[in-house]
Amino acid sequence: MRVLLYTGKGGVGKTTLALATALGAARHGHRVCVLSTDPAHSLADALGRPVGPHPRAITKDVYAREIHAQVELDGAWRSIQAWLRELLREEADALVAEELLAFPGIEELVSLRAVREVEETGDFDVCVVDCAPTGSTMRMLRFPDALRIFMEHFFEFERKGARLLRPFLRSFEAGRLLPREEFFDAFERLYQEIDEVRQILLDGERTSARLVVNPTRVIVDETRRSFAYLSLHGIATDAVLVNRVLPDSVGQGYFSRWLEIEREELEAIDRSFPVPIRRVSLRSAEVIGTTALEALAVDLFGDEDPAARFAKGRPIRIRRGGGRTRMEIDLPGITKEEIEVLARGPDLHLRVRDGRRSISLPESLIGRPIEGVRFREPILEILFGDD
Amino acid sequence: MRLLLYTGKGGVGKTTTAAATAALAAERGLRTLVVSADSAHSLGDVFGRSLGPERRRLAQGLDALEIDARQVIESQWGRVRDYLVDLLRYQGIDEVVADELALLPGADELATLVCVEQWAERGEHDLIIVDCAPTGSTLRLVTLPEMAHGGLQWLLRLQRAAAHVIEPLARGLVSTPLPSAEVFAEADRLFYDTLDRLRRRLLSPETSVRIVVTPESMVIDEARRALTDLCLFQLASDAVIMNRMLPEEALREPFFRDRGRLQAEAWQEIESIFAPLARLRAPLQADEVRGIPALVRHGMDLFGDRDPALHLGEAPRLRFERDALGSRIRLPLPEIDAASLEVTRVEDELMIGVGGRRRKIALPVAFARLEIDHVRYRGGQLVVSFVGGGGGAAASIESVA
């Protein structure tokens, strides 16, 4: 199954283009599911009809679904909720447990599970994810990494601790404060599910990100950094989609200055991203409903299959040659001063502006000293020496 | 001190509108601070100046800053954070990673509120304007103090209880660092003192939310839902601002003819949905609005002779009523699907759910011994009627068209 992540700054038209892509892909014979992970859902607004937390048929081959954290949690975390409820029985009630679990951060997590659910049904060839604006999306992508670290270092320890303490505490009132085995099992299942999603997202053949922009300076600047963050997290962007380009016909009148500004930005977009760029012009009316969205897809992709992989490059590459090994990462829109690299044990810690990631090094590179770090815009090169 | 929160869907021009309001207010003599709370900051861009977490004076009476969540959290709850980092490091997690994990979800929103509260308490400004992150995050921002109060204080109490009992036993068995009294003191300060003050600030009559929209139905649909959520959490909105209205001259372009008709319809919709809030509009300018003079001009187009800091309109608020016919609560909730409503009594609180969002409203003492009789949703108002004495806690909802 192909997974297409649509992200970009707020208001650029992510939802509209995600739906157009889904409808366009269906015309190429795919069965498509569109997921919205933005808590401020707008699939329904763009389709002009309701969409809910359960998959709903939009056309014969396209389904849409909004992820509502509350609904997902009710189903997914039953045993964890049950534990919390029991724990809080005397002082609180089910509502408190629910509130605890609806705390921010959870939304990102349940969104990731949904991608896996779509794959599991086996009913779809393509899953288009209409993501929240860039910031939240980055948090969503970082989540599996954070969880992996938590599980590897912390979780087993806690579980053992609980096992050890339980017999001692049974006689105390505090015995029930320790999570029971079911809790750990539920948590582990959840972790496995999230880890499967991580595998899907990191596989460039299956998953591609698409960045939606408008030709204005602030948006282009931010989108360059988003591209860099996606690279950093190992997610391949295969196209940049420029939405709402002013048509030339508005030429000389009130919009002449705006056209001038746009031309500069369109050039900057072409220069900035090492992937194909697709443009689509502003429409004379708002694009709402399947017919208008299908027409938009044709303008955007022509005869091409919108679910195709438009660029084959990988965001993080290991290259060997001349007796040396180097790791390369694409980081457009970033300056040298904003990058920090640190190898420690089996992990490589990277800090890029306000984004961070720990990458597990391949076996062959563990323990080898970093000989040099070079930034040849937009590519970061980390050179490894012999051990 | 007046506090204005600017919110709306991404890309509608919140930052420009907030900056224009600030520039105009300062020009008219108000000591004004404009704060960017969107972690993808663009306030500096609009002023054409570089901004950071330190206050920067941009003109007479006009200050601006961009919040750095990490820095605020560090300065406020350094000990709690250090403890978490310690705990994680102890488990063999690298410091860099521990640092990351300890930055709890919701931190951005919390940092924003704390920063605003600090500036409000300094009393150096007559007006503080917050340029919020897009709608989703703004709702998280306004609901955070309440959510944290309702949920996290239990967690804290729990951990403390656990630490009390387990500590003596655990020292020998498990050598996990346990939180010190200082950590608890700091956490207490967060939960009982700071969050309370933040909540009071948000609910103060001096605070208003302004919703920015553009003449597009997708944007207006989202604004409408935002207004419902704001009502549910009793945040007072005072105005809706329609940005990027195409002026006559622009509508002469043949390409934009349809847009002219559509924007007239959009304005009609705004008039009918959002009254009695003030409805303001600003034109799409012929060039980018950048720098203070352009912002002041844009502010003039928006407010004319009106004072930009005024209470521009009044959204109806939650009311408790008691008379010969009984006791009831009225809550304005515009444009919701009655089928998605849930109303439950939980001890001395009323839980109201709309769609996926829930909030609890503390009942006044006079209502404490009463039970829900029936619930009605009519004309954009939720009315919960009470009767005296025992009985069930949940009630069916009657929807009246």
Ordered DSSP codes for A261-300: HHHHHHHHHHHH-SS-EEEEEPPSS---SHHHHHHHHHHH
- Are B256 and B377 found together in one domain? no
- Are A195 and A324 found together in one domain? no
- Least CB–CB distance from A257: residue in B39, B217, B287: B287
pLDDT for residue B396 = 46
- Are A258 and A341 found together in one domain? no
Q: Could A149 and B136 be called an inter-chain contact, meaning their C-beta atoms sit closer than 8 Å?
A: no
Distances in whole angstroms, Cα of residue B228 to Cα of each of B76, B222, B312, B336: 33, 10, 19, 8
- Are B380 and B262 found together in one domain? no
Q: Which residues in chain A touch residue B257, judged by CB atoms under 8 angstroms apart?
A: 284
| Domain termination site, one of B261, B285, B315 | B315
Q: Could B169 and A149 be called an inter-chain contact, meaning their C-beta atoms sit closer than 8 Å?
A: no
Supply the CATH number for residue B127's domain. 3.40.50.300
- Are A293 and A320 found together in one domain? no
- Are B229 and B355 found together in one domain? no
Residue in chain A nearest B87 by alpha carbon: A154
Place of tokens 């990351």: B100
Sheet holding A324-330, edge to edge: A316-321, A324-330, A379-384, A370-376
Q: What is the mean pLDDT of residues A367-383?
A: 90
Q: Judge whether residue A382 has pLDDT over 60.
A: yes
- Least CB–CB distance from B356: residue in A71, A92, A351: A71
Q: Could A288 and B11 be called an inter-chain contact, meaning their C-beta atoms sit closer than 8 Å?
A: no
Mapping DSSP onto H, E and C, the string for A191-248 reads HHHHHHHHHHHHCCCCEEEEEEECCCHHHHHHHHHHHHHHHHCCCCEEEEEEEEECCH
Does B258 touch chain A if contact means CB atoms closer than 8 Å? yes
Residue in chain B nearest A46 by alpha carbon: B218
Q: Judge whether residue A306 has pLDDT over 70.
A: yes
- Are B215 and B353 found together in one domain? no
- Are A300 and A359 found together in one domain? no
- Are A59 and A91 found together in one domain? yes
Supply the CATH number for residue A331's domain. 2.60.40.790
- Least CB–CB distance from B97: residue in A169, A249, A358: A358
- Are A75 and A11 found together in one domain? yes
Q: Which residues in chain A touch residue B249, judged by CB atoms under 8 angstroms apart?
A: 253-254
- Least CB–CB distance from A70: residue in B39, B249, B356: B356
- Least CB–CB distance from A96: residue in B91, B151, B262: B151
pLDDT digits (tens, 9 = 90+) for A308-360: 999 998 999 999 887 789 999 999 888 899 898 987 777 788 888 877 787 87
* Two structure tokens written together for A127: 């899953």
pLDDT digits (tens, 9 = 90+) for A137-167: 666 666 666 666 656 655 555 666 666 665 6
Supply the CATH number for residue A31's domain. 3.40.50.300
Q: Judge whether residue A186 has pLDDT over 70.
A: no
- Are A288 and A372 found together in one domain? no
Calculate how close chain B gets to A250, using CA atoms only, in Å: 6
Does B362 touch chain A if contact means CB atoms closer than 8 Å? no
Distances in whole angstroms, Cα of residue A109 to Cα of each of A224, B10, B262: 25, 22, 39
Supply the CATH number for residue B367's domain. 2.60.40.790
- Are B366 and B250 found together in one domain? no
| Domains held by chain B: number | 2
The sign one gets for the Cα dihedral A175, A181, A186, A191 is positive
Calculate how close chain B gets to A36, using CA atoms only, in Å: 13
- Are B255 and B110 found together in one domain? yes
Residue in chain A nearest B247 by alpha carbon: A254
Calculate how close chain B gets to A208, using CA atoms only, in Å: 23
Closest to A18 (Cα-Cα) out of A82, A65, A79, A69: A65
Does B82 touch chain A if contact means CB atoms closer than 8 Å? no
| A242 touches A266 (CB < 8 A) | yes
Q: Could A286 and B218 be called an inter-chain contact, meaning their C-beta atoms sit closer than 8 Å?
A: yes
* Two structure tokens written together for A141: 């992508």
Structural domain containing residue A183:
1-310
- Are B148 and B95 found together in one domain? yes
- Are A326 and A305 found together in one domain? no
Residues 96-155 of B with CB under 8 A from A: 96-97, 100-101, 104-106, 109, 133-137, 139-140, 144, 147, 150-152, 154-155
- Are A16 and A150 found together in one domain? yes
Structural domain containing residue B370:
319-399
pTM comes to: 0.80
- Are B337 and B309 found together in one domain? no
| Domain termination site, one of A310, A343, A371 | A310
Q: Which of A7, A87, A103 to mutate to test the interface with B (most CBs of B within 10 A)?
A: A103
| A384 touches A327 (CB < 8 A) | yes
Q: Which of A31-35, A177-181, A287-291 has the lowest mean pLDDT?
A: A177-181
Sheet holding A2-7, edge to edge: A56-57, A62-66, A32-36, A126-130, A2-7, A207-213, A237-245, A277-281
Does B243 touch chain A if contact means CB atoms closer than 8 Å? no
Residue in chain A nearest B147 by alpha carbon: A99
Q: Which residues in chain B touch residue A358, judged by CB atoms under 8 angstroms apart?
A: 94, 96-97
Q: Which of B97, B191, B346 to mutate to test the interface with A (most CBs of A within 10 A)?
A: B97
| Domains held by chain A: number | 2
H or E element at residue A87: helix A78-87
pLDDT for residue B178 = 55
* Two structure tokens written together for A270: 């072409």
Q: Could B105 and A103 be called an inter-chain contact, meaning their C-beta atoms sit closer than 8 Å?
A: yes
- Are B170 and B294 found together in one domain? yes
- Are B310 and B371 found together in one domain? no
Mapping DSSP onto H, E and C, the string for A108-132 reads HHHHHHHHHHHHHHCCCCEEEEECC
Q: Could B221 and A42 be called an inter-chain contact, meaning their C-beta atoms sit closer than 8 Å?
A: yes
ipTM: 0.77
- Least CB–CB distance from B221: residue in A45, A102, A247: A45
CA angle A9, B41, A224 (to 5 degrees): 45
- Are B93 and B200 found together in one domain? yes
Calculate how close chain B gets to A323, using CA atoms only, in Å: 31
- Are A65 and A157 found together in one domain? yes
CA B7 to chain centre: 8
| B328 touches B321 (CB < 8 A) | yes
Q: Which of A39-48, A247-256, B227-236 has the lowest mean pLDDT?
A: B227-236
Calculate how close chain A gets to B243, using CA atoms only, in Å: 13
- Are A321 and A183 found together in one domain? no
- Are B368 and B221 found together in one domain? no
Q: Which of A255, A261, A281 to mutate to test the interface with B (most CBs of B within 10 A)?
A: A255
Q: Which residues in chain B touch residue A71, judged by CB atoms under 8 angstroms apart?
A: 356
Residue in chain B nearest A172 by alpha carbon: B165
**For chain A, what percent of residues have pLDDT higher than 70?**
75
Calculate how close chain A gets to B270, using CA atoms only, in Å: 16
| Domain termination site, one of A310, A330, A348 | A310
Chain A / chain B CB contacts < 8 angstroms: 198
Give pLDDT tens digits along chain B (401 positions): 999 999 888 889 999 999 999 999 999 999 999 999 887 788 998 999 999 999 999 999 999 999 987 788 777 766 666 666 665 555 555 555 555 544 555 567 777 888 899 999 999 999 999 998 766 566 666 666 665 555 455 455 555 555 554 444 444 444 455 556 666 666 666 656 777 788 888 889 999 999 999 999 889 988 887 887 787 777 889 999 999 999 999 998 888 888 999 999 999 999 888 888 999 999 999 998 999 999 999 999 999 999 999 999 877 677 778 887 888 888 888 777 778 888 888 777 788 887 766 777 777 777 777 888 888 888 888 899 988 754 444 444 554 43
Residue in chain B nearest A355 by alpha carbon: B100
- Are A175 and A211 found together in one domain? yes
Residue A94's SS3 state is: helix
